[in-house]
């Protein structure tokens, strides 16, 4: 098992506020978990398969208890490979910027790849769903140019945090901590505050 999996979803590298604060979190967590390995998954360096008709056929086969065949078998194997680090991590950290009120398309692509029946959840609309990663803690580090907190005019536009919380809850992750890096466009202290909070959360994570 990996002690902590950090999923980086910004293409900006060291210039990314979410990535920078995420690395502060990881460095702080390492200090109190020296014997537990940390894995980093940079989604912009990770090949993600196209979710085409072969995937849909493979998924349909799995949902009926059959094995995928042909092209579907190979792509299903790739989806299993992508889900493995998520399934084998004791804790999950996702760092993400806000793009157009939501998340980067690369992160959404990854979520669509790993959120598959028998891999990370089971069930159906008729019988209900059950996440297959229950009771593991997760943390979100979310950067935004403006403020989208409770009571602000922009709160209804925050599809970044709400979507990720819904997805993590669907898979069974809990509890989930959220560190907001905002408003980076107008407040030069936003990253400094988030760094401080990241160290505090990492210490108890």
Residue 82 CA to residue 48 CA, distance in Å, equals 8
Q: Is 144 annotated as a binding-site member?
A: yes
100 is in an annotated binding site: yes
Q: Is 128 annotated as a binding residue?
A: no
The answer to whether 10 is annotated as binding is: yes
Contact 62/118 with Cβ under 8 angstroms?
yes
17 annotated ligand-binding residue: yes
- The total number of residues shown for the chain amounts to 205
Rounded Cα distance between 119 and 128, Å, is 16
- Let me know: does 191 contact 142? Beta carbons within 8 Å: no
* 32 appears as a binding residue in the annotation: no
Residue 147 counted as an annotated binding residue:
no
Residue 158, annotated ligand binder? no
42 is in an annotated binding site: no
The tokens for 138 are: 């997760």
* Contact in structure between 140 and 96 (CB atoms under 8 Å): yes
At a CB cut-off of 8 Å and minimum separation 6, what does 1 contact?
88, 89, 90
- Separation between Cα atoms, residue 25 and residue 195, nearest integer Å: 8
Annotated binding site for FMN: 10, 16-18, 98-101, 143-146
Annotated binding site: 10, 16-18, 98-101, 143-146
């Amino acid at each position: 098992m990996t002690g902590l999996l950090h999923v980086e979803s910004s293409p900006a590298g060291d210039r990314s506020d979410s990535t920078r604060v995420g690395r502060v979190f990881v460095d702080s967590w390492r200090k109190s978990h020296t014997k537990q390995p940390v894995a980093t998954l940079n989604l912009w360096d990770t090949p993600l398969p196209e979710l085409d008709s072969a995937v849909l056929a493979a998924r349909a086969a799995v949902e009926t208890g059959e094995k995928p065949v042909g092209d579907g078998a190979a792509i299903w194997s790739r989806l299993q490979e992508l889900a493995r680090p998520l399934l084998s991590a004791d804790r999950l950290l996702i760092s993400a910027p806000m793009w157009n009120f939501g998340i980067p398309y690369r992160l959404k692509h990854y979520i669509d790849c790993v959120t598959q029946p028998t891999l990370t959840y089971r069930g159906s609309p008729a019988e209900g769903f059950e996440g297959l990663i229950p009771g593991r803690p997760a943390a979100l580090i979310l950067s935004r140019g403006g403020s989208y907190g409770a009571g602000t005019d922009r709160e209804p536009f925050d599809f970044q945090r709400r979507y990720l919380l819904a997805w993590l809850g669907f898979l069974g992750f809990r509890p989930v901590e959220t560190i907001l890096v905002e408003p980076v466009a107008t407040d030069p202290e936003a990253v400094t505050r988030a760094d401080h909070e990241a160290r505090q959360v990492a210490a108890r994570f």
